[in-house]
Amino acid sequence: MFLDAYGTPKEVTPDNLDEYPYDLHGVMLLTSADFEVYIPPRWHGTIYSTEELLDTYRKRFKPDCTLLTFHAFEPYEPELICCERCVVEITVLPAGQTLHSGTEIVVFLVKIYEVNTLITKELGTELNFFPNTHHYHVRIMSEGIDILYLDDKVYGVDSACYQQQCVHNLLKKLQPLGVKSLSGKPLPEHLSKICRKVDHNVANK
């Protein structure tokens, strides 16, 4: 998926290309090397992921490297990345193996100003993205997750109930303030009810 000018994730496809303005020199996050991602015509930005996923993706799909730049993150090591209108902090988090093929997948934590956004394209075998033995875990557990973005295809006609259960478990575990879909389409109402409630009396003090 892309990050737009303000660091918000957008799932761009041939069907919705006209709905989402994207920066030709923008940011794309790669969560899996199993499927070829849609790259809009003339786009020549940077694709971010782990070294392993980027290497596997290049070997499998042979993208045009004259137009694209690839940047590898070290897991749990935040980096500052420039979007068109802001600077965001991005961290890649290993998420175990995909349920489709057993290959590695990742999720991304994007910090925009003081807002922590967790972006998931697919949930796999690991929902504990922040290992207790790592210093990064302390920071994230202290700050909390504000918004969880997920692929609304999880709630499609042919979707697996296991993925839906994973989403439910992840929301209960992380207790974000809100949950949104990468496509911008509405998600089932019960997901919002799992999110933590804001104490407006405390927030307004």
pLDDT tens-place string over residues 119-134: 999 888 888 887 777 7
Residue 176 lies in a domain: yes
| 199 domain-assigned | no
Give 91's contacts (C-beta < 8 A, 6+ positions apart). Answer: 73, 76, 77, 78, 79, 108, 109, 111, 136
Asked if 118 contacts 127 with a C-beta cutoff of 8 angstroms, the reply is no
pLDDT in tens, 114-169: 899 999 998 888 888 877 777 777 778 788 899 999 998 888 766 567 888 889 99
Comparing 3 with 132, the larger pLDDT belongs to 3
Question: Residues 45, 181, 166, CA angle at the centre, nearest 5°?
Answer: 110
| Domain-embedded: residue 183 | yes
* Within-domain flag for 200: no
Can you tell me the distance from the alpha carbon of 93 to that of 95, in angstroms, rounded to the nearest whole number?
6
**What total of structural domains would you count in the chain?**
1
Residue 19 to residues 11, 27, 85, 161, Cα–Cα distance (Å): 11, 17, 19, 30
Domain CATH number, residue 25: 3.60.15.10
List, for residues 86-105, the tens digit of each pLDDT value: 999 999 999 999 877 789 99
- Greater pLDDT, 21 or 200: 21
Q: Look at residue 195 and tell me if it is in a domain.
A: no
For the chain, percent of residues with pLDDT exceeding 70: 91
pLDDT digits (tens, 9 = 90+) for 34-59: 999 998 888 888 999 999 999 999 99
Residue 23 lies in a domain: yes
In a domain, 201, yes or no: no
Does residue 198 lie within any of the structural domains?
Answer: no
CA distances from 159 to 10, 129, 152 (A): 21, 23, 10
- Please report how many Cα atoms fall inside a 13 Å half-sphere around the Cα of residue 81, on the Cβ side: 33
**Backbone dihedral region of 158: left (phi > 0), alpha (psi from -120 to 50 degrees) or beta?**
alpha
Q: Which domain holds residue 159?
A: 2-190
3-state secondary structure of 106: strand
